[in-house]
Structure 1
């Protein structure tokens, strides 16, 4: 099992943040999106928010790779539709690569 932590910002707009949270409630989740997540080897995922900053924790099986997930997502029309919708709410972090939303975080402390 591997664990990854990622971050992205939301546009600092209360209405957009509320709408983003609406789309992430269990009852509003697109089944094609949750299937694409689990099919890629992600076993557990959480997203937390403070202000307009999001923090994601992913636990994956040992076969998971970001490259494979990106390849799967690029050929999945429903995932592409979801990603376009999410760009309405999300902002790239200043240090993100072109087109990158969620940025992998480095662990700097463990107790």
Structure 2
């Protein structure tokens, strides 16, 4: 098992943030299937203000490259991503359209 932590910002608009959270209370079954099929065994998203923090646990076969390729070939995932992009914004210092950014672990006890 491997753990990844990722970060992303939402647009700083309380109505949009509420809508984003509502979507995540009823994630489409096709999206949940694509997550599991990619080798992600657990995914959690937390929010502080407009900043999101994701924790992913994966099996040994998981790769971001394979997940990205599968997502691009999946029309339902593309529909979800287009919907979610309405709420998300690029982190400072990143290229436009870059979404979730993998964080580096700096401490563990």
TM-score range, shorter chain: over 0.9
Structure 2: gaps spanning 5 or more residues: none
Aligned to 1:84: 82
Instruction: Check the 8 A contact 1:96/1:103 in 2, yes or no.
Output: no
Which runs of 4 or more aligned residues in structure 1 lie more than 6 Å from their structure 2 counterparts after TM superposition? Answer: none
Aligned to 1:43: 41
Q: Structure 2 length normalisation: TM-score?
A: 0.97
Aligned to 1:10: 10
Task: Quote how far apart the aligned CAs of 1:96 are.
Answer: 2.7
2:32 equivalent among 22, 34, 51: 34
Instruction: Check the 8 A contact 1:33/1:78 in 2, yes or no.
Output: yes
The SS at the match of 2:107 is coil
Cα deviation code 1:33-87 (max 9, x no counterpart) = 0000000000000000000000000000000000000000000000000000001
RMSD, aligned CA: 0.8
Task: Quote how far apart the aligned CAs of 1:94 are.
Answer: 1.8
| Distance change in 2, residues 1:65/1:97 (3 Å) | farther
Structure 1: gaps spanning 5 or more residues: none
